Amino acid sequence: MTRRLGRTQVGIVGGGPAGLMLSHLLHVAGIESVVIEIRSHDEIEQTPRAGILERDSVRLLVDSGVSDRVLRDGHEHQGIDLRFGGVSHRIDFQGLVGASTWLYPQTDVFLDLAAARARDGGDVRYSVVDTQIVDITTDRPGMLFSDADGVEHEIRCDVLVGADGSHSMTRSAVAGRREYFGQYPYAWFGILCEAPPSNDVLIYTRSDRGFALISQRTESVQRMYFQCSPEESVDDWSEDRIWSELQSRLAGADGFALQEGRIFSKSVLPFRSYVCEPIRHGNLFLAGDAAHTVPPTGAKGLNLALADVRVLAELLERAVLKKDDSALDTYTERALSRVWKAQYFSTWLTTLLHTLPGASDFDVRRQLAELSAVVDSEHGAAFLAESYTGWPS
C-alpha cells in the first residue's frame, strides 16, 4: 500500500485541549500545524474531566479568539468554601487577591477549541491509528499514522509536539529523561447527578471520614467527589450508600443541606504526581499531561496544559518566524517552574484536606490546626487564593 506524504511546520500528536490550543495559537501567529488524535471527537467530548479555569486560562480562551462562550455559559466563582469541623469558611478570592476562577468544564473548552480550529480551516485528524514518531533529533521529524479509512500517512515537520495525555507514547522518545513520581494512598470517587446546586461556590471538605468536594456543572447537574481507596470498585457503591457517605462528610452544626438526585455517572479517579524532565528532546516538545500530572485537588491539570502551550507557542513563533532557535532551549525551565509550583500547591491542598489511614490523634489535631491557620489568617488565605486562581505568567 502506498503511503501519503505530507508536510507541515508543526506536527502535534494529541487533539485534547493542549494540542488544539497550541494549533490555534500557532495559526494566530501564522504557523501551520497538523493535529492527529487517536480518539474520535465524540469520545473526547464524552469523557468527564475537571471544571475549573484559572483567571489566565479564561483570558487565553477569550483574548486569543477561541471563543467568549466561557463568559456567557461559564460561572465566575469569586471564592471557595473550606469546610472542616462541620463549618464552612469562605476564601474570598476577589477580596484577597482581586481574582476569580470560572466554572467551565474541560469538555466545553475542548468543544470551543475544536470549533475554532474547524472555523479557521485547521487540520485536525481524529480517530487515527498506529501512530509513530520518527527522526526527532533531525531537522525533519515525522509523524506516521493510518487514518480512519486505513490509509497510511507520513507527515514531515520542522517540530513535533507530544500532547498525547498521561499515557503518552511520544514521551518515551525523550532519551535520558528523568521521571519524578509522587504516590498517594487514596483516590477519588467521582459522580455526576441530577440535582440543583447546594452552594454558590465549590466546597472543599475535610471530615473524619475523609475528603469530599461539592462541585457543579449546571443548574440541574452537579459533580461531586469523595476520597476513597485506590482499590475501590464502583459496583460496591449503590446510590444510597454514596449519598449516605457524602451526607455524613458534609454534615455540620450550621445545618448545611446537600441536595441529592439521580446519579448517572460513577468512576474512581487515579491520583498521582508525575513530572518528566526535560520536556524537550531534539525537535520533540512535550506539553500538558504528557509531561506532567498533578493530584486533582485544586484542578490544576488543564490550566497547566494551557500554560505550557502558551509558552511553547511563543517560543515556536520566535524559532520558526524569527529563526531564533535558542528560544526553544528555555522551554523546559519556563514550563516546569510553573509545574513544580502546581505540584507543591496540589499536594499541599490534598494533604490539608484528606485523611490518612492510620493517622494518629496528633496528626488529626495538627491538620485541623493547619486548616485554622489558613482560614484565620488573611495571609494564609491569600496564599491559597493566589495559588488557586493562578500565578501570573
Q: Is 295 a catalytic residue?
A: no
Q: Does residue 300 carry a catalytic annotation?
A: yes
**What burial class does residue 378 get, using C-beta atoms within 10 Å of its C-beta: 0-12 exposed, 13-18 middle, 19+ buried?**
exposed
In angstroms, what is the minimal distance from the CB of 345 to ligand DHB?
11
Instruction: Mark whether 322 is an active-site residue.
Output: no
Cβ 204 to ligand DHB shortest distance, Å: 7
Active-site residue identified among 24, 89, 153, 300 = 300
- With 0-12 / 13-18 / 19 or more C-beta atoms within 10 angstroms meaning exposed / middle / buried, residue 11 is buried
* Cα Rg of the chain (Å, integer): 22
Of 17, 105, 141, 296, which residue is the catalytic one?
296
CA distance 313 to 290: 17
* Helices and strands (DSSP H and E) totals, the chain: 11, 23
| H or E, element range at 309 | helix 301-321
- Residues 101 and 29: their CA atoms lie apart, in Å, by 27
Amino acid at 7: R
Closest by CA to 339, choosing from 385, 305, 313, 316, is 305
Comparing CB distances to ligand DHB, the nearer of 24 and 217 is: 217
Kindly tell me which of 131 and 346 has the beta carbon lying closer to ligand DHB.
Answer: 346
CB of 346 within 8 A of CB of 272? Answer: no
Q: Which of 104, 126, 184, 204 is the catalytic position?
A: 204
- Choosing from 27, 77, 89, 281, which is the catalytic residue? 77
Report how far Cα 116 is from the mean position of its chain's Cα atoms. 20
Give the DSSP letter of residue 326: G
Residues binding ligand DHB (CB under 6 A): 50-52, 202, 213, 215, 223, 296-299
| Residue 192: half-sphere exposure toward Cβ, Cα within 13 Å | 15
Only one residue has cell 485528524, namely 125
State the alpha helices, DSSP H only, in 198-263.
239-250
CB of 106 to ligand DHB, least distance (A): 8
Least distance from ligand DHB to the Cβ atom of residue 54, Å: 11
Residue placing its CB nearer to ligand DHB in the complex, 184 or 285: 184
3-state secondary structure of 47: coil
Cβ of residue 44: shortest distance to ligand DHB, in angstroms? 16
- Establish whether 77 is a catalytic residue: yes
Q: Least distance to ligand DHB from the beta carbon of 215, Å?
A: 3
Cell of residue 374, nine digits: 489558613
Least distance to ligand DHB, CB of residue 385, Å:
14
In terms of CB distance, is 83 or 156 closer to ligand DHB?
Answer: 83
Cross-strand bridge partners of residue 221:
194
| Nearer to ligand DHB among residue 79 and residue 278 (C-beta) | 79
Q: How far apart are alpha carbons 154 and 352 in whole angstroms? A: 49
Catalytic residue numbers, as ranges: 77, 204, 296, 300, 388
